[in-house]
Amino acid sequence: MAYEFYYWDGLQGRGEFVRLSLEDAGAEYVDVARTPNGTKAMMKLISSKSEPHIPYAPPFIKDGELIVSHVANILLYLGPKLGLAPKDENLRYVANGLQLTITDMITEVHDTHHPLATDLYYEDQVDAAKIRTRNFLDERVPKFIGYFERVLKQNPHGDTQLVGDSTTYVDLSMFQVVEGLHYAFPRAMKTFGKHYPRVAALHDAVLQRPNIAAYVDSERRIPFNESGIFRHYPELDQDAK
């Protein structure tokens, strides 16, 4: 039975972290919002007054009768089923912790262009966004990506994956983070590989995985755009240090 995947149509957003794992594993899934009346069906499920375990918001998946929401929680559930979780069950919680750290970073990425309020247009908070983005690029990116660089360096199984001895969903998620940062802040990321060589190498290795390469080149991969989390506003970018 195919997984039912629910997320907004037309943007990668947080849903892309789930899509990458489904695609890498060659899993059978339906991207519900991209089917006729799919968004309507998603909203009906969210607003249901009878479903016992309703999700707050997408992304979420439906596996039979089970609904699992939130990116890190979805990947904790899917990882073992897709062969993208550490074989050591204890390390699965380490992987979940890393994914939750990525979740924290993604929240800060979103807040670069919406630092005051989600309900306000970007144009209503540009000055605040410039201040927030400067801090994000100068302080937060080095702290987050520097942490993942150290995680790779200190992995006892080798520095080609973040946890364990094989590729996991966390590696695929880090690929998406690097892709998104380069899209949103191309000037600031020009020296990314020099500062974070292991994270850059991990990104390149994931891109060489056959199913990921095919997905990235396919129409299923929605392009980055200014409706998603990673947005390219030239006035927010800055020269690399």
- Asked if 84 contacts 209 with a C-beta cutoff of 8 angstroms, the reply is no
Per-residue pLDDT band for 1 (boundaries 50, 70, 90) equals confident
Q: Taking residues 48-72, what's their average pLDDT?
A: 94
The amino acid present at 132, given as its one-letter code, is R
Helix, strand or coil for residue 228? coil
Average pLDDT, the chain: 96
pTM: 0.96
65-100: per-residue pLDDT in tens?
Answer: 999 999 999 999 999 999 999 999 999 999 999 999
Q: Sketch out the chain's domains with CATH numbers.
A: 3-82 (3.40.30.10), 89-225 (1.20.1050.10)
DSSP string covering 43-71, please?
Answer: HHHHT-SS-TT--SSS-EEEETTEEEESH
- Asked if 184 contacts 108 with a C-beta cutoff of 8 angstroms, the reply is no
Per-residue pLDDT band for 240 (boundaries 50, 70, 90) equals confident
Q: Taking residues 120-145, what's their average pLDDT?
A: 97
pLDDT of 51 higher than 90? no
Which residue is associated with the tokens 């968004």?
A: 39
Distance CA 145, CA 210 (A): 25
- Asked if 106 contacts 14 with a C-beta cutoff of 8 angstroms, the reply is yes
Distance CA 232, CA 212 (A): 23
187-230: per-residue pLDDT in tens?
Answer: 999 999 999 999 999 999 999 999 999 999 999 999 999 999 99
The amino acid present at 93, given as its one-letter code, is Y
